[in-house]
Amino acid sequence: MLTWRDLGLGRGAQGKEFMPKELHCPYCGVHGRFSRVFHGEAREMESGGALCSDIWQCLACANFTYVIWRNEAGYIDYRSYPAVHTHTAAHHPSWPEDAEHAYADALAALLTEDWDGAMVMARRAVAAVTVACGAPAGTLAQEVQALRDQGLVPNALTEWASAMPQLHAGPMPATAHHARETVRFARHLLDVVYTLPHDAKRYRYPAPSS
Ligand SMILES: [Zn+2]
């Protein structure tokens, strides 16, 4: 069962609503040329947000693609059906390639309720970050702690990591809850270590004169 919570973990492009510029037609491969023929919204009681469903018609071959999307804090994340493996909205260009692949696989596993797979891949994404930052080998929670000692991540993240049993032991059977939590943790770690410094660099200010 698809849950709206899994959309938004990918975060995706900034904007108010889904635009088809990233969409590839699964039938003819043409990129970004679609006309919307249906738009529906379902209100989500808990958050007050909306889960949107669009049907887009390819302007080249006239076939239809179904897109579900959600706006979370100004970011649009989506899934399209039939699936094509060109969906890159989930990752950020600053991420290391192995972390990006592991995170994308973790998200894909969540959507098919493969909790073990999601957990394994989310752990791999976390490990890819800690290894890239030179953390000494240990449990994932210890490795995240080492990143804090380097000043790369805030206390909030290490406190969360130390409360997560799935980051202390080796691989363990995953529940839906633990799998989702691990994927979300991996996302925050990637954002803090890579996305945030990358985006902040775009807004360089001159040093204040004293
Ligand atoms: Zn087409």
Cα–Cα distance between 92 and 112 in angstroms, integer? Answer: 23
Q: pLDDT at position 87, please?
A: 46
List the CATH number of the domain containing 165: 1.20.120
Together in a domain, 140 and 50: no
Q: Is residue 102 part of a domain?
A: yes
Domain count, the chain: 2
pLDDT values of the chain reduced to their tens digit, one per residue, 210 residues = 566 667 766 667 788 889 998 788 888 778 888 999 999 998 877 767 788 999 999 998 889 999 999 887 788 888 888 876 544 456 678 899 999 999 988 988 887 889 999 999 999 999 999 999 999 999 999 999 999 999 999 999 999 999 999 999 776 788 999 999 999 999 999 999 998 898 888 777 777 765
Ligand 1 centroid – CA 80 distance (Å): 14
Together in a domain, 71 and 17: yes
DSSP 8-class letter at 110: H
Q: pLDDT at position 198, please?
A: 87
The answer to whether the beta carbons of residues 89 and 8 sit under 8 Å apart is no
Q: What are the structure tokens assigned to 10, written together?
A: 């990918």
CA distance readout (Å), 81 to 8, 20, 63, 84, 113: 17, 13, 12, 8, 17
Single pTM value for the model: 0.64
Q: pLDDT at position 184, please?
A: 92
DSSP for 124-153, please give it.
HHHHHHHHHTTPPSS-HHHHHHHHHHTTSS
Together in a domain, 101 and 183: yes
Last-in-domain residue among 55, 81, 107: 81
Q: Is residue 91 part of a domain?
A: no
Taking alpha carbons only, the member of 195, 130, 129, 139 closest to residue 165 is 139
Last-in-domain residue among 49, 81, 113: 81
Together in a domain, 41 and 121: no
Ligand 1 centroid – CA 25 distance (Å): 5
Neighbours of 39 (CB within 10 A): 13
Q: pLDDT at position 110, please?
A: 84
CA distance readout (Å), 97 to 69, 88, 101, 103: 25, 12, 6, 10
Q: pLDDT at position 156, please?
A: 95
Ligand 1 centroid – CA 63 distance (Å): 6
CA atoms within 13 A on the CB side of 3: 13
Together in a domain, 60 and 149: no
Q: What are the structure tokens assigned to 6, written together?
A: 């899994």
Together in a domain, 58 and 145: no
Together in a domain, 56 and 30: yes
Q: Is residue 116 part of a domain?
A: yes
Ligand 1 centroid – CA 107 distance (Å): 26
Ligand 1 centroid – CA 97 distance (Å): 29
Ligand 1 centroid – CA 15 distance (Å): 25
Q: pLDDT at position 9, please?
A: 65
Q: Is residue 90 part of a domain?
A: no
Together in a domain, 58 and 116: no
188, exposed or middle or buried, with CB in 10 Å at 0-12, 13-18, 19+? Answer: middle
Together in a domain, 130 and 193: yes
Cβ contacts of 164 within 8 Å, gap of 6 or more: 141, 178, 181, 182, 185
Ligand 1 centroid – CA 68 distance (Å): 18
Together in a domain, 142 and 191: yes
Range of the domain at 115: 97-200
Together in a domain, 152 and 178: yes
Ligand 1 centroid – CA 65 distance (Å): 9
Q: Is residue 92 part of a domain?
A: no
Q: Is residue 88 part of a domain?
A: no
Together in a domain, 167 and 195: yes
Taking alpha carbons only, the member of 101, 96, 92, 91 closest to residue 121 is 101
CA gyration radius for the chain?
A: 19
Ligand 1 centroid – CA 194 distance (Å): 35
Q: pLDDT at position 1, please?
A: 54
